Amino acid sequence: MKIARVLVATALMATAGTATASATPAPCNYRFCLWENQNFTGTMFGHNNIGGGNWCADLWYDTRSGANYSTVDLTLSDKPCGQAGRSFFLKANSDRAAFPFAVRSHSHCDTCRR
């Protein structure tokens, strides 16, 4: 009986994980969209000033999921511009339903990627 409960619990967790992984972004008419919650939920913040060159932009809000519809890879950080912190890449034409931390800035660096 105990083994059956463990198997059912494991199956439920696997199903829940699959549902989260299959989340798709809500409609977004911007080049870069961020949501305050995971799985593209909550308030959406859109940005169109995304392009090449070297730049960094602070966010005035924490975000936990996003979609990059631009043509450049972006670096997302948990700290404002100029401060050392954790970061990860969000490639061009990709999305991520759950950031590993609350994002506070996004940037692009042409010269850094050579």
**Domain with 96 in it: what CATH number?**
2.60.20.10
Q: Residue 34: which of 60, 68, 70, 66 has the closest Cα?
A: 66
Instruction: State the pLDDT at residue 84.
Output: 92
* Structural domain contains residue 22: no
Q: Indicate whether 86 belongs to any domain.
A: yes
Closest CA to 71 of 100, 34, 108, 29: 108
Residue 10 lies in a domain: no
Does 54 fall in a domain? yes
87 to 15, 17, 21, 103, 107: CA distances (angstroms): 29, 24, 21, 8, 10
Instruction: Please report whether residue 82 resides in a domain.
Output: yes
Q: Give the span between the Cα atoms of 26 and 37, in whole angstroms.
A: 12
Which pLDDT tens digits describe the chain residue by residue (114 residues)?
444 443 333 333 333 333 334 577 877 888 999 999 999 999 999 988 787 788 999 999 999 999 999 999 999 999 999 999 999 999 999 999 999 999 999 998 876 654
Residue 103's domain spans which residues?
Answer: 30-113
Residue 68 placed within a domain: yes
Residue 2 domain-assigned (yes or no): no
Q: What is the pTM of this model?
A: 0.73
Overall domain count for the chain: 1
Instruction: Classify residue 13: in a domain, yes or no.
Output: no
Copy the structure tokens of residue 45: 């913040």
